[in-house]
Homo-oligomer: A and B are copies of this chain.
């Protein structure tokens, strides 16, 4: 998604040529092709599928809506298994028509209902807490602490946490809750927060362009025991409008300098 203008074959070729060893795959890039073919694309370029992004969106106004969401979550687990991704990243969802309590209840129930299928496919469910500015309609899960409380209840065998600096950098409890999370941390995403932020969704910065201490937070997740892949996840209309080859160079440079 960071290099949104590129389709999967292009991204695989470019990443591989640049020495990028792995990739978080968004589901829309799998469309229009057999899953085995996508897997082969990744394999042929020596790219490790780090995560499949994304399912979740559990809350619904009707039981039909909630069932449709569950079906989609099962499909995502199957897709992840098919391309060899060890985790599906969950954007848990929220409906502004529902109370915060009801949204959170439906999310916990929804994840619980996915655990058997996760066990069957061998793919983990990775809850990504989203920034509180998305609590109305994207995710009512908004802090690492809240994820920890949920996982205390759901069990940690098939459920973990994807930590994205964009969503959690401001949290006064971050270091303590990451420590508490320990090996529940399944993913770590880096980017930056721009001042001012022109758009709440697609104005992220490259690491170093904003105020987030990416290296400091990396230290925290690694001190907590995380030793997995670090994913660059930048949604940026501004960067997507640039020459993508130049941009990929800048991404790698920013990663080396700032992460």
Closest to A174 in B: B100
Q: Choose among B97, B133, B140 the residue that contacts A197 (Cβ–Cβ < 8 A).
A: B133
CB distance from A75 to the nearest CB of B (A): 27
Q: Which of A118-148 contact B (CB under 8 A)?
A: 131-133, 135-137, 140, 142-143, 145-146
A61 in contact (CB, < 8 A): no
Q: Give the CA-CA distance A171 to B132 in the complex, in Å.
A: 8
Interface string of A145-185 (1 = CB under 8 A from B): 11001000000000000000000011111000000000000
Looking at chain A, what size class is its interface with the partner chain?
20 to 34
Q: Which residues of B contact A131 (CB under 8 A)?
A: 132-133
CB distance from A138 to the nearest CB of B (A): 10
CB distance from A190 to the nearest CB of B (A): 16
Most buried by B among A97, A133, A145: A133
Q: Choose among B99, B133, B213 the residue that contacts A100 (Cβ–Cβ < 8 A).
A: B213
A210 in contact (CB, < 8 A): yes
CB distance from A196 to the nearest CB of B (A): 7
Q: A169 near B210 (CB under 8 angstroms)?
A: no
A10 in contact (CB, < 8 A): no
Q: Give the CA-CA distance A210 to B216 in the complex, in Å.
A: 36
